[in-house]
Amino acid sequence: MIAAYLVCHFLRYHNAKGPLVWPIVGMIPQLSRNFKQGYDWVTGILVQTGGTFTFIVPWIPSLNVVVTSDPQNVEYILKTNFANFPKGKILRAGFHDLLGSGIFNSDHNTWLLQRKLASLEFYTKSFRDLTARSVQRLVHRRLLPILRHAAATSATIDLQDVMLRFTFDNICILAFGADPGCLCAGLPRVPFARAFDVATTLTLLRFTVPEFSWKLDRLLGIRRERKLHECLKTIEAFAADVIAKRKAEMADDRPSRRSDLLSCFLSSTDPATGKPSYSDKFLRDVAINFILAGRDTSSVALSWFFWLLQSNPRVEAAILDELRTVVRSSGRRCVRDPDFSVEELRSMQYLHAALSESLRLYPSVPIDNKEVVEDDTLPDGTRVKKGRRVLYSIYSMGRMESIWGPDCLDFRPERWIKNGFFVPESPFKYTAFNAGPRLCLGKDVAYLQMKAIAASILSRFSVRVVDGHVAKQKLSLTLFMRNGLPVTLHHRPLFDDGDCHSP
């Protein structure tokens, strides 16, 4: 009987080209052994299976997940049959306490409403001007003074932490119109920032246990859920304070016109009643969702970018050449301390390519999940059942020879350059900014911010990772470095003394 059961089990669940599926526990033993290097482990299986496999735990249907890196499947999920692959109830339930009904944790009409209103604001001149002003101010008034001090004192700093502080301040200004001051001198501890960081990690860990388990812990107020509850109270208090202050400002007889996203949503009223369209809870959800998107993604991308430059001096030299060309073409005579305009940043084609290449290898969001509404068949023939989840591995897609060629593991920005200009790839091949109807609204803002930071640092400093440090990935919503990025900085003028002349 036992032998017959094992044979039947093998025939039913075995991935012909993938890892062994054990009775009852399925693939959990392999996952446990490879947990810390999970993204690379999944990538290896996807290469072995031709781009798609099913993670199997025979007696727990919710843990049977189809994993794919096939661009055809991704296009089908994100665009062709978009309505059949929403976020889904499992994902929404896990993230609800942190993200509520915000844009990144909602589906259907709730998502569409926020998307439309946010997109109108993102493309206004006032919001673009606010973005440019905020980035330039943070670069010159906060980032560069901190880096100059580190260089002058030969101090080692965690560049990932500095980038997180920069992007946190910037997105809070854009989303809330409030400046938390994370990047101030001395790098102060900011309770809201700390609470937000811990809350995102604890929320992700909910998906490593059965749903009933974390819900029971939440009910009883124990273990991780107790800490998460404490963090959420800090987040709620910050959001409530900012919303109350903004409402008071807008109730003034002469309210100032603000371009942040919170003000945009606060300005919306119900045509029938003239009352505000959204509750304070909904406004909190909107702002927190945009902070999650804008804070972690750009900072993580920049951290991996500087890590890759360490071992690719040829690329760094090419970026410096482009920066010199941009400054010379402006006609400026003294260039000891260059200040790059928005137009100059946009003209930096090679830097844009280098950042895109870094995101190809180390996407800020390494995986994404969808839930199947009705039985379906993916373009590669894989059948997916109603209620099951489909996971597409963005990290793996950037490392597939079948997608990017035999040099897929090489950091080569030139793959993006055609006739001297950056040429984007299909978003279903390069999904770092999502694709289809959920294509990232903040893509242009993210590139502007990353280019401003990278250009400002590289034109002034040589950044060197501390000897012996190895960047390891952290299991999180975004691809953090587990132990940060300790670096030293050394002053390096963009031009030699003979190239800089006083006017």
Question: What does the block give as tokens for 94?
Answer: 């896990």
Q: Which residues pair with 489 in a beta bridge?
A: 463
Residues near 37 by Cβ (< 8 Å), separated by ≥ 6? 473
Q: For the chain, how big is the Rg over CA atoms in Å? A: 24
**Residue indicated by tokens 């959204």:** 278
Closest by alpha carbon to 78, among 475, 408, 479, 397?
Answer: 397
Type of residue at 377: T
Burial classification of residue 185, based on how many CB atoms lie within 10 Å of its CB (0-12 exposed, 13-18 middle, 19 or more buried):
exposed
Closest by alpha carbon to 138, among 108, 110, 189, 180?
Answer: 180
Q: How far apart are CA 297 and CA 480, in angstroms?
A: 9
Give one DSSP letter per residue of 390-420, joined into a string: EEEEHHHHTT-HHHH-TTTTS--GGGGEETT
In 3-state terms, what secondary structure has residue 485? coil
Q: How far apart are CA 497 and CA 310, in angstroms?
A: 25
Q: How far apart are CA 216 and CA 220, in angstroms?
A: 6
Question: Is 182 marked within a binding site?
Answer: no
Residue 369 phi, psi dihedral angles, 5° rounding:
-115, 145
CA 81-437-171 angle, 5° bins: 145
Residues near 227 by Cβ (< 8 Å), separated by ≥ 6? 198, 202
Q: How far apart are CA 232 and CA 192, in angstroms?
A: 9
Residues annotated in the binding site, as ranges? 440
Residues annotated in the binding site for heme, as ranges? 440
